[in-house]
Amino acid sequence: MADNVSFREIPADVLVPGQYIEIDGSRADSGTPPIPRKIIIMGQKLAAGTSVTLVPTEVPVATPDQVVQLGGRGSLLAQMAVEAFKAHPYGKFTVIAADDLVAGVAATGSILAAGPATASGTIALYIDGTLVQVGVTSGDTAIQIAANIASQINANPDLPLSVPVAPTTATLALVARHKGECGNDIDVRHSFYLGQNLPSGVALTVTPMAGGTGNPDVGPLLAAIKGDDRIVLISPWTDSSNIVKIEADFADRYGPMKQQESHCFAALSGTFATLVTYGTGRNSPHVSIIPREGNMVAPWRIAASVAGLCALRGSGDPARPYFGMVLPGIPAPAESARFDQPTRNNLLKNGISTLRYDAGGKAMIEMVATTYKTNSFGIPTRAYFKLQSKWTADYFRYAWKVLIATRYPDFKLADDGTNFAPGQPIVTPSVLKIETIALARTLEYAGVIENVDEFKKTLLILRSIANPNQVNAVASPNLVNQFDVFAAAVKFIN
């Protein structure tokens, strides 16, 4: 029977004497709710990896050891995990592995040694930014030097390439551990830092890695991570076929019926012209492309580091800039290879994010942009230019949803002015409006939105005339912006 108070768990017809008190936690939480995001590392595994392909595996503790076992030492999966874990040691990570494309081809390169050495010394060789030190003894021939280099490379199974065939000449052949385009981005060089020189009489000629073709299809991997999670995806593949699938999948997740706000991070090698061409051809608020400007470190490692940093800061404050966040362990490229300020400005205009570097050789985030530049009518827009805009809007939607879902999960709906008992679980449009304004004040205090007085004027919450069980609402939160530019004029007086 109806009463002036309606309970969730206490039956209305209980007759046995007693004190029946239900506990309701729907109003226990205050402040702004944390938005959960699952960080997913997607990459190729080696035959030695224990992971089952296309099966997501959660990594409970952010240490690379487990992922190294899952992907195999030297695998894309393991390399990406190392960088992501360094950037965000408190993250909730999931890895999903893919096999090499059967029809793919592994990238190859070579090192040609010249001798004999006229003095003893050490070769400072860098494979994907990892130092490989090779001892040289005075009198060593070119063939001996090549054999020693091959031996030292093969002694490190964490490198992304190896020398499968022991050299019998002065040339050693390098082969990527994985088939696919990623192998083309493995950097090989020597004597990078000041003071590093080849021993007298020794010369090395490096033929860059090239010829890798065929990436795994990202479609089955995306299907394997379907669910209710909001995803920060790290992808090593930037080919158009795979990126288009990620864009479409994440656009579907972003919509109002799913509300799984997800974002993909990837990195790309190339000249300014290459990067601009790529950025011009993409237009998605769900993908950020990081440039690799002559860096020794592979692009997928850079993407993993940036994604980890953004996820770390974004979980605490979706609106705060990423400017100056240091990519741990990622060295800066040579100064001659770095993009200057006008070049970086043009990259941002074309939807490519930017990095910068300090005097100590640290790589840092400058700005994380999305590739979204024009709306559905082809008109230029800055709506999703920066990742913060998307994530802050995401956060408002999530906080609003959590408020309604936790406070009024099983309430009845009535018009404003209805005369019902105070204990009845009934909500009206005016109550929802008051709750929404209170949420806006909380978000304003948390530095997520601003100008709540104007928000109140434009907020519309009313009962549907088409469906009596539905409330319709329109809100226009003014998102907090980032202090990116300080412009001033100095007008001096003598």
The residue type at 115? G
Over the stretch 326-350, which tens digit does the pLDDT of each residue have? 999 999 999 999 999 999 999 999 9
Does 417 score more than 80 pLDDT?
A: yes
Would you list the domain boundaries of the chain?
Answer: 38-99+222-389, 106-210, 412-494
- pLDDT at position 30 is 67
- pLDDT at position 13 is 76
Average pLDDT in the 166-184 region? 97
CB atoms within 10 A of CB 344: 21
Query: What span, in angstroms and rounded, lies between the C-alpha atoms of 264 and 37?
Result: 12
Could you check whether the bond before residue 116 is cis, i.e. omega within 30 degrees of 0? Answer: yes
How many Å separate Cα 294 from the centre of its chain? 21
Closest CA relative to residue 242, chosen from 106, 39, 42: 42
Q: Which three-class secondary structure string do you get for the chain?
A: CCCCECCCCCCCCCCCCCCCCCCCCCCCCCCCCCCCCEEEEEEECCCCCCCCCCCCEEECCCCHHHHHHHHCCCCHHHHHHHHHHHHCCCCCEEEEEECCCCCCEEEEEEEEEECCCCCCEEEEEEECCEEEEEEECCCCCHHHHHHHHHHHHHCCCCCCEECCCCCCCCEEEEEEEEECHHHHHCCEEECCCCCCCCCCCCEEEEEEEECCECCCCHHHHHHHCCCCCCEEEECCCCCHHHHHHHHHHHHHHHCCCCCCCCEEEEEEECCHHHHHHHHHCCCCCCEEEEEECCCCCCHHHHHHHHHHHHHHHHHHCCCCCCCCCEEEEEECCCHHHCCCHHHHHHHHHCCECEEEECCCCEEEEEECECCCCECCCCCECCCCCEHHHHHHHHHHHHHHHHHHHHHCCCCEECCCCCCCCCECCEECHHHHHHHHHHHHHHHHHCCCEECHHHHHHHCEEEECCCCCCCEEEECCCEECCCCCCCCCCCCCCC
- pLDDT at position 31 is 67
Are 66 and 41 a contacting pair, CB within 8 Å?
no
How many Å separate Cα 249 from the centre of its chain? 16
Mean pLDDT score across all residues of the chain:
93
Average pLDDT in the 411-416 region? 95
Over the stretch 420-479, which tens digit does the pLDDT of each residue have? 999 899 999 999 999 999 999 999 999 999 999 999 999 999 999 999 999 999 999 999
Does 98 score more than 90 pLDDT?
A: yes
- pLDDT at position 55 is 95
> Which backbone phi and psi does 145 adopt, to 5 degrees?
-65, -45
CB atoms within 10 A of CB 322: 21
Over the stretch 146-156, which tens digit does the pLDDT of each residue have? 999 999 999 99
Over the stretch 245-293, which tens digit does the pLDDT of each residue have? 999 999 999 999 899 999 999 999 999 999 999 999 999 999 999 999 9
- C-alpha separations of 36 from 86, 275, 310, 312, 316 in Å: 20, 32, 14, 11, 11
Does 64 score more than 70 pLDDT?
A: yes
Query: What span, in angstroms and rounded, lies between the C-alpha atoms of 184 and 194?
Result: 27
Which residues face 203 on adjacent strands?
114
β pairing state of 412-413 and 426-427: parallel
Does 1 score more than 70 pLDDT?
A: no
* Correct CATH for 106-210 of 3.90.1160.10, 2.30.30.30, 2.40.110.10, 2.40.160.20: 3.90.1160.10
Confidence of residue 62 (pLDDT cuts 50, 70, 90): low
Are 215 and 101 a contacting pair, CB within 8 Å?
yes
Query: What span, in angstroms and rounded, lies between the C-alpha atoms of 326 and 344?
Result: 18
Average pLDDT in the 176-180 region? 98
Confidence of residue 29 (pLDDT cuts 50, 70, 90): low
Percent of the chain with pLDDT over 90: 85
Average pLDDT in the 118-145 region? 97
Over the stretch 83-93, which tens digit does the pLDDT of each residue have? 999 999 988 89
Confidence of residue 2 (pLDDT cuts 50, 70, 90): low
Average pLDDT in the 393-417 region? 94
**Is the backbone of residue 478 left (phi > 0), alpha (psi -120 to 50) or beta?**
beta
The residue type at 461? I
Confidence of residue 35 (pLDDT cuts 50, 70, 90): confident
- pLDDT at position 23 is 79
Is the C-alpha dihedral spanning 436, 438, 443, 447 positive or negative?
A: positive
β pairing state of 471-474 and 188-190: unpaired
β pairing state of 121-127 and 188-190: antiparallel
